[in-house]
Amino acid sequence: MRRVCFVLKVRQDRLAEYRERHAQVWPEMRRALSESGWHNYSLFADERGMVVGYLETEDFDAARAAMAKTEVNARWQAEMAPLFEGLDGRPDEGMLPLTELFHLP
């Protein structure tokens, strides 16, 4: 299982909405993530809008591709895109993995 960590930037004036939406992620979105190979998926945010995501997956590229094929993901990304800054596309396309430097199992 590969650990993946990424960062994104939410517009500070939309951070409350971002938090509210993630407090109630659609059941079909949660199901699609699981079925697409996203495991142990977490999001963290600070007050400036910096979002750190973490997940475990066998193959991140394959997991992203599987989600990209789902209708629910297209709807979710379209609704979430205006909340972010510095992205030219959908938020899920801006998830660039960070390089792991240390891990204590």
Residue pair 39/62 in contact (Cβ under 8 Å)? The answer is no
Taking Cα atoms as reference points, which of 72, 68, 70 lies closest to residue 90? 68
Average pLDDT over residues 76-86: 92
Q: How far apart are CA 105 and CA 100, in angstroms?
A: 13
CATH class of 9-87: alpha beta
| Active-site residue, 103 included | no
Average pLDDT over residues 82-92: 85
The pair of structure tokens assigned to 40 is 């142990």
Sheet holding 50-57, edge to edge: 2-9, 50-57, 39-45
- Which of 22, 30, 69, 75 is catalytic? The answer is 22
* CA–CA distances in Å: residue 59 to residues 2, 37, 64, 79, 95: 7, 8, 9, 26, 14
pLDDT computed for residue 63 by the predictor: 97
- pLDDT, tens digit, 9 for 90 and up, residues 31-74: 999 999 999 999 999 999 999 999 999 999 999 999 999 999 99
So where are the chain's domains? 9-87
* Three-state DSSP class for residue 95: coil
Taking Cα atoms as reference points, which of 58, 97, 80, 90 lies closest to residue 11? 80
